[in-house]
Amino acid sequence: GDSVTQMEGPVTLSEEAFLTINCTYTATGYPSLFWYVQYPGEGLQLLLKATKADDKGSNKGFEATYRKETTSFHLEKGSVQVSDSAVYFCALDSGGSNYKLTFGKGTLLTVNP
Amino acid sequence: EPEVTQTPSHQVTQMGQEVILRCVPISNHLYFYWYRQILGQKVEFLVSFYNNEISEKSEIFDDQFSVERPDGSNFTLKIRSTKLEDSAMYFCACAAGRGNQPQHFGDGTRLSIL
């Protein structure tokens, strides 16, 4: 079945540091890939997405590139801020009739001033 | 921006009791989902709902669970006889379509079974 593997957290960085959160996946067919973010006390918000190989999703300074050859969708940001502190979830949907999402375990990011 | 609203934000229930979690999806969305997240674990798919019927359910979604859209706006998840292991955060999600249409999530209901 489909699965998503994220790097184990927590990740602690200083403000303006470079962020990478690794994500790899296993899926049948050609999934769409997503990063969701969960700020403390809130629900899941879509951060960015990519729907086919070599697409790059980007939003709020975050980027991720759909790499079919390595089955990866790593999240990056060049300079993190304290306000980026949250849990980040990598997810995929492999289509079919329902487009249900399969999530990774989530990675807690803490950014210190 | 339109939001998905879930109520209550926190529900505490005795084991064996019935509980209903409520969701008001975005008004023109057609695809509805419930997910849950047990503390410290990944977000798991429970059920998808389209055209007034369940389109897919996971192994977790056994006979104790049911969903309905009673009035065309609310989307509810009922757990008939709660167990301790049902304690989790439950998220409602909806989408305008399939494929490129992302799912929009509510803030969740934290369910605590005593």
Reported as a single tens digit per residue, the pLDDT across B30-53 is: 899 999 999 888 899 999 999 889
Q: Does A58 score more than 80 pLDDT?
A: yes
Model confidence band, residue A96 (pLDDT cutoffs 50, 70, 90):
low
Model confidence band, residue A55 (pLDDT cutoffs 50, 70, 90):
very high
- DSSP collapsed to 3 states, B41-98: CCEEEEEEEECCEEEEECCCCCCCEEEECCCCCCEEEEECCCCHHHCEEEEEEEECCC
Cross-chain residue pair A98–B107, CB shorter than 8 Å: no
pLDDT of residue A42: 83
DSSP, collapsed to helix, strand or coil, labels residue A11 as strand
Cross-chain residue pair A98–B4, CB shorter than 8 Å: no
Model confidence band, residue B2 (pLDDT cutoffs 50, 70, 90):
low
B3 vs A14, residue with greater confidence = A14
What does the alpha-carbon distance between residue B107 and residue B103 come to, in Å, rounded to a whole number? 13
Chain A residues touching residue B93 (CB < 8 angstroms): 44, 101
Q: What is the mean pLDDT of residues B9-18?
A: 96
Of A45, A89, A98, the CB nearest to B43: A89
Distance from CA of B99 to the nearest CA of A (A): 6
Q: What is the mean pLDDT of residues A75-95?
A: 93
Distance from CA of A23 to the nearest CA of B (A): 14
Cβ contact A30:A92 at 8 Å? no
Residue A97 in tokens: 């009739």
Instruction: Give B109's contacts (C-beta < 8 A, 6+ positions apart).
Output: B6, B7, B8, B9, B10, B11, B21, B89, B90
What does the alpha-carbon distance between residue A51 and residue A34 come to, in Å, rounded to a whole number? 9
Q: Does A99 score more than 90 pLDDT?
A: no
